[in-house]
């Protein structure tokens, strides 16, 4: 008669054993231990399986009438095994894969076989790589409560369409958790404790739908939602997310509406916070932001027609890269600015093409509240100006027209035509055009070796006027050196 061990299969994904340690004391014999399963009634399924995983073998066995006798195939291999209880609503395929609509997979029990002795070691701290436990397709993946974080590549490359529910116990989602998968919806249980999305946590999920992040979220990693299909992104009320920095929302092809966290205080970084969202048409900003929003914060969003500011918005903001804003949107922005009468003025900057859409009296809505309206792109500060650099051996001149120019050096007997483009209000890049003999420039090449683009241009202003520019030149071994070019004034 086999030795019987009762195992309770809990709804929260745990397996509770009646006997510890879990032992089979005969070598290479089977059917000496019988497992009796008591399955919580909340686990909705018809078919039960056990999955055993070892570095040398993997087996999937059907459990009949909630009883299973350990076979010789298991006792034949020494070392660590993982055993997981699986419940589903369809029979496994002939190749031992499961393609059910409903799948429950318990947290695995890690065990060791030593000459027939199966000794219980521990239960894993996270529900790791469930995709390795269930080899097939499913419509919904149910992660049991109790899991504290979702590991790297959790369901990466799972190509079937599915939805997933994140239990309230999860506090962290790690990189590439659902990378390149068929996930169409991610839901968070009420009372979610999610605090951290690591870099690339929710990344490249082409068919992902709209998503609402829980209020508990406080850390947003780089490139989350990049290459995802979401159209509308929201955050729960009283959000703990206070800072969004560079690379927060980049390259989200279908994003149309972004409602930022309602207690956000900072929306800035060394480069864009939002970039490359070609369908984005509306962003909502809270009035809790207290750090100036720079020009570079929003880039390459050509259909952004509406920026909504929460009432009493009260921080310097430069939306000069948002050239599609409508008159109606701008008027509402002005109305929602905090009245600064009797206080220090603040600046709201818009592009000249947006200013041109306004009618007489529109600007007064903002200026009557002691706000200054800044203008981006109204005047080309470099157009028609010349700049000169000189040291003991070399002199170089840069002349700017309207979007075009020329760099020349009499001492080097070299010249090349350029076009130029502003990156921000005070930075620019040049592109070398036409004939360019690189070697002729020696250690003063106007672009990196083998290239024609130089993005290092910096404008220095004095009393609102350009006084000098800086730009790197490059040696033959591609070492860049900043050179300061002084404005050549007409009287010179």
pLDDT tens digits, one per residue of 214-273: 999 999 999 999 999 999 999 999 999 999 999 999 999 999 999 999 999 999 988 999
Domains in the chain, number: 3
Residues facing residue 453 across a β-bridge: 431
pLDDT of residue 414: 94
CATH number at residue 62: 2.60.40
Distant-in-sequence contacts of 153-161, Cβ < 8 A, 24+ apart? 153/129, 153/177, 153/179, 154/129, 154/130, 154/178, 155/130, 155/131, 155/181, 155/183, 156/131, 156/180, 156/181, 157/181, 158/131, 158/182, 158/183, 161/207
**Would the pLDDT of 324 be above 90?**
yes
Mean pLDDT of all residues in the chain? Answer: 88
Please tell me whether residues 150 and 111 are part of one structural domain.
no
Residues in CB range of 144: below 8 A, 6 or more apart: 11, 12, 13, 14, 104, 106, 107, 127, 167
Domain's final residue, options 323, 356, 376: 376
| pLDDT tens-digit map of 336-379 | 999 999 999 999 999 988 998 999 899 999 999 999 988 887 67
For residue 213, tell me if it sits in a domain. Answer: yes
Looking at the structure, tell me whether residues 221 and 351 fall in a common domain. yes
Q: Is 381 within the bounds of a domain?
A: no
68, 95, 123 — which closes off a domain? 123
The answer on 157 and 109 residing in a single domain is no
Whole-model pTM?
Answer: 0.56
Shared domain for 233 and 303, answered yes or no, is: yes
Q: Alpha-carbon distance 83 to 15, whole Å? A: 10
What pLDDT was estimated at residue 407? 96
> Is the predicted pLDDT of residue 26 greater than 60, yes or no?
no
Both 192 and 318 in one domain: the answer is yes
Domain that includes residue 350, residue range: 130-376
CA dihedral 230, 215, 145, 54 (to 10 degrees): 50
More confident residue, 214 or 70: 214
Q: How confident is the model at residue 133 (pLDDT cuts 50, 70, 90)?
A: very low
Report pLDDT for 118.
42
Are the beta carbons of 19 and 120 closer than 8 angstroms?
no
pLDDT beyond 70 at 27: no
Same domain, yes or no: 278 and 355: yes
């Amino acid at each position: 008669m086999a030795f019987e061990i009762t195992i309770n299969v809990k709804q929260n994904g745990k397996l509770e054993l009646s006997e510890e340690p879990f032992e089979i004391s005969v070598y290479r014999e089977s059917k000496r231990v019988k497992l009796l399963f008591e399955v919580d009634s909340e686990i909705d399924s018809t078919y039960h399986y056990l999955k055993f995983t070892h570095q040398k073998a993997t087996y999937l066995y059907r459990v009949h009438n909630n009883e299973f006798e350990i076979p010789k195939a298991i006792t034949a291999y020494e070392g660590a095994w993982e055993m997981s209880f699986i419940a589903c609503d369809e029979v496994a395929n002939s190749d031992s894969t499961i393609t059910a609509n409903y799948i429950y997979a318990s947290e695995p029990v890690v065990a060791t076989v030593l000459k027939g002795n199966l000794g219980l070691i521990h239960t894993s701290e996270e529900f790791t790589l469930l995709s390795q436990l269930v080899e097939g397709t499913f419509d919904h993946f149910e992660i049991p409560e109790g899991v504290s974080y979702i590991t790297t590549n959790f369901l990466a490359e799972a190509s079937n369409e599915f939805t997933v529910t994140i239990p309230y116990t999860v506090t962290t989602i790690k990189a590439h958790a659902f990378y390149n998968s068929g996930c169409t919806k991610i839901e968070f249980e009420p009372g979610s404790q999610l605090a951290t999305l690591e870099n690339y946590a929710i990344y490249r999920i082409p068919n992902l739908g709209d998503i609402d992040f829980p209020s508990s979220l406080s850390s947003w990693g780089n490139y989350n939602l990049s290459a995802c299909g979401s159209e509308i992104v929201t955050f729960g009320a009283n959000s703990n997310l206070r800072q969004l920095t560079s690379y927060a929302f980049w390259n989200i092809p279908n994003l149309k509406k972004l409602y930022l966290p309602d207690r956000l205080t900072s929306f800035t970084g060394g480069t864009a916070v939002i970039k490359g969202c070609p369908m984005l048409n509306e962003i909502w900003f809270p009035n809790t932001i207290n750090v100036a929003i720079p020009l570079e914060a929003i880039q390459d969003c050509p259909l952004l027609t509406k920026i909504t500011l929460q009432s009493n918005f009260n921080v310097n903001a430069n939306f000069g890269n948002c050239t599609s804003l409508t008159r109606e949107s701008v008027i509402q922005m002005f109305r929602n600015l905090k009245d600064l009468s009797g206080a220090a003025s603040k600046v709201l900057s818009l592009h000249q093409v947006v200013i041109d859409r306004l009618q007489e009296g529109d600007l007064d809505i903002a200026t009557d509240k002691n706000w200054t309206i800044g203008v981006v792109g109204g005047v080309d500060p470099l157009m028609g100006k010349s700049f000169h650099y000189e040291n003991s051996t070399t002199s170089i001149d840069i002349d700017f027209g309207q979007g075009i120019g020329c760099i020349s050096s009499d001492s080097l007997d070299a010249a090349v035509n350029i076009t130029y483009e502003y990156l921000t209000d005070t930075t620019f890049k040049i592109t070398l055009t036409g004939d360019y003999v690189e070697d002729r420039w020696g250690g003063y090449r106007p672009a990196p070796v083998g290239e024609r683009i130089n993005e290092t241009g910096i404008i220095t202003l004095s009393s609102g006027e350009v006084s000098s520019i800086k730009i790197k030149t490059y040696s033959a071994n591609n070492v860049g050196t900043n050179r300061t070019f002084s404005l050549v004034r007409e009287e010179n």
